[in-house]
Amino acid sequence: MKEITMPLLSPSMSEGQIVRWLKKEGDPIQEGEVIAEIETDKAIMDLEAFESGVLKKILLPEGGRAPVNAPIALIEPEAEEAISAPQVQKEAMEGRETSSLTKPVGQLREVTKKEPSQRIKSSPLARKIAQEEGVELSSIQGTGPGGRILKRDVLSSLEQKALEQKEKLPIQKPPGISAAPQPGLSETKIPLSMMREKIAKRLLESKTTIPHFYLETEIFVSSLSRLRNELNLYYSQHEQPWKFTYNDFFLKATVEAVKKVPSVNASWNIDSILKHNIINIALAVALEDGLITPVIKNAQDKSLMTLSKEAKELIQKAQERKLSPEEYMGGTITVSNLGMYGIDNFFAIIDPPQAMILAIGAVVKKPLIDSQNNIIVGEVVRVTASCDHRVIDGATGAKFLKEFKSLLENPLSMLV
């Protein structure tokens, strides 16, 4: 009988939650088959079986959480089955008795703790690097055949350790003011999803450790609106019809403005500032119970059309919670748009280690005074940039926002 353990599905994952078991106890499973859905701090991902056999025992029920590497199920590999079937059945039955559905994860871990004498499968190269770097093999989750630890596993474990070191800020647990039940009120306790917990931790850390300042501007978008209508009219008759959203232009303007004021595309790195040589735009996408920021990579090389298509695809994937870690990591600047909710203006919290987030409101019609002192109907949008003052100074942020505004007010300029 072999253990299936909680896999490491993203570099920042420390524990995972079972969303759904797709197989029941006793079901045969094929190597490569998806047997469960696991929620990490960022996404719901599929758990594939490493080998074929029979799912003998589910140790972690749906909704249960376990740290990476903790056993979550027992599988009987194909070959073993015939020989020891009665024995296994007995084990499984006993297992069922002892593991009630609400068994806390901590205990679980204890029960199935690896015996020290157990051989850890690892490649010679992985062993040498681990020794060189002073890492315990037993602390590493192998991704090779049969859970064998490979070079890449040692390297990603090292990377994660480095990351953890960095993240070890004074705050261990999001403290916050906990809401003690008050007399006369009736509450329903909602357990935290992994995503909710991550949002809480990350944004609290951001808001309490990053010196935010805000720059706000109003942008006249009448020309942009006309250009968008023209483009959409043209593309509606195109053989591959396409419709641009206002947000596509905001993304494009962000890229072009960053090219002009590249110092906003940077990160605070404690003893230095990291200036990013590529522009990866993160888009805040609202989900039913949280939000996620998929990333358009190398946006500096992308046309309006490409940005638009990628944004649409990423948003859809995000809403279906199908993003792979690669697709939501590595953003260098974020654009958050609440225009569709009719919000005129808001102030967003920076997503560390980025140094800027743009908060974009709705495009609204307003009376404006033109150069001849006539009152006209104009279209405007309000945009706020939240900046990390350690990285960006007021004047730099203002310069960026000025470019951003100018691009959107003269929209043809960002298309050439």
Nearer to other proteins, 33 or 80 (CB): 33
The helix (H) or strand (E) run that includes residue 373 is none
Nearer to other proteins, 68 or 155 (CB): 155
CB of residue 133 to other proteins, shortest distance in Å = 10
Side chain identity at residue 30, one-letter code: Q
Binding residues for other proteins restricted to 220-279, rule: CB under 8 A: none
Asked if 155 touches other proteins (CB under 8 A), the answer is no
Residues whose CB falls within 8 Å of the CB of residue 7, separated by 6 or more in sequence, listed in order: 16, 38, 47, 68, 141
d(CA 293, CA 283): 5
Catalytic site includes residue 238: no
Structural contact between residues 162 and 190, judged by C-beta atoms closer than 8 angstroms:
no
CB of residue 12 to other proteins, shortest distance in Å = 21
CB of residue 123 to other proteins, shortest distance in Å = 3
* Active-site residue (options: 212, 238, 276, 389): 389
Distances (CA, A) of 168 to 40, 209, 377: 20, 13, 53
Asked if 123 touches other proteins (CB under 8 A), the answer is yes
d(CA 6, CA 66): 7
Asked if 170 touches other proteins (CB under 8 A), the answer is no
Asked if 129 touches other proteins (CB under 8 A), the answer is yes
Residues whose CB falls within 8 Å of the CB of residue 82, separated by 6 or more in sequence, listed in order: none
The footprint of other proteins on this chain (CB under 8 A) covers a number of residues equal to 14
d(CA 4, CA 26): 15
Nearer to other proteins, 124 or 367 (CB): 124
Out of 1, 59, 150, 392, name the contact with other proteins by CB under 8 A: 150
Nearer to other proteins, 126 or 349 (CB): 126
Which stretch in 31-39, 259-267, 301-309, 339-347 sits in contact with other proteins by CB under 8 A?
31-39
Nearer to other proteins, 34 or 398 (CB): 34
Asked if 34 touches other proteins (CB under 8 A), the answer is yes
Nearer to other proteins, 40 or 265 (CB): 40
Asked if 134 touches other proteins (CB under 8 A), the answer is no
94-129 residues labelled b (16+ CB within 10 A) or e (exposed): ebeeebeeeeebeebeeeeeeeeeeeeebbeebeeb
Which stretch in 109-117, 123-131, 273-281, 342-350 sits in contact with other proteins by CB under 8 A?
123-131
Asked if 128 touches other proteins (CB under 8 A), the answer is yes
CB of residue 302 to other proteins, shortest distance in Å = 15
Q: Which DSSP symbol is given to 24?
A: -
Out of 132, 136, 187, 271, name the contact with other proteins by CB under 8 A: 132
d(CA 409, CA 225): 10
Q: What is the largest CA-CA distance in the chain?
A: 93
Which stretch in 12-20, 124-132, 177-185, 190-198 sits in contact with other proteins by CB under 8 A?
124-132
CB of residue 155 to other proteins, shortest distance in Å = 11
Residue 125 is encoded by which pair of tokens? 């190269």
Residues whose CB falls within 8 Å of the CB of residue 51, separated by 6 or more in sequence, listed in order: 2, 31, 75, 77, 78, 146
Asked if 380 touches other proteins (CB under 8 A), the answer is no
Asked if 126 touches other proteins (CB under 8 A), the answer is yes
Task: State the Rg of the chain over Cα.
Answer: 26
Structural contact between residues 253 and 280, judged by C-beta atoms closer than 8 angstroms:
no
Q: What angle do CA 268, 271, 274 make, to 5 degrees?
A: 40
DSSP secondary structure string for all residues of 245-270 = -HHHHHHHHHHHHHHHSGGGSEEE-S
Nearer to other proteins, 125 or 415 (CB): 125
Asked if 151 touches other proteins (CB under 8 A), the answer is yes
Asked if 124 touches other proteins (CB under 8 A), the answer is yes
Asked if 116 touches other proteins (CB under 8 A), the answer is no
Binding site for other proteins (CB under 8 A): 32-34, 46, 48, 123-126, 128-129, 132, 150-151
Supply the residues annotated as catalytic.
Answer: 389
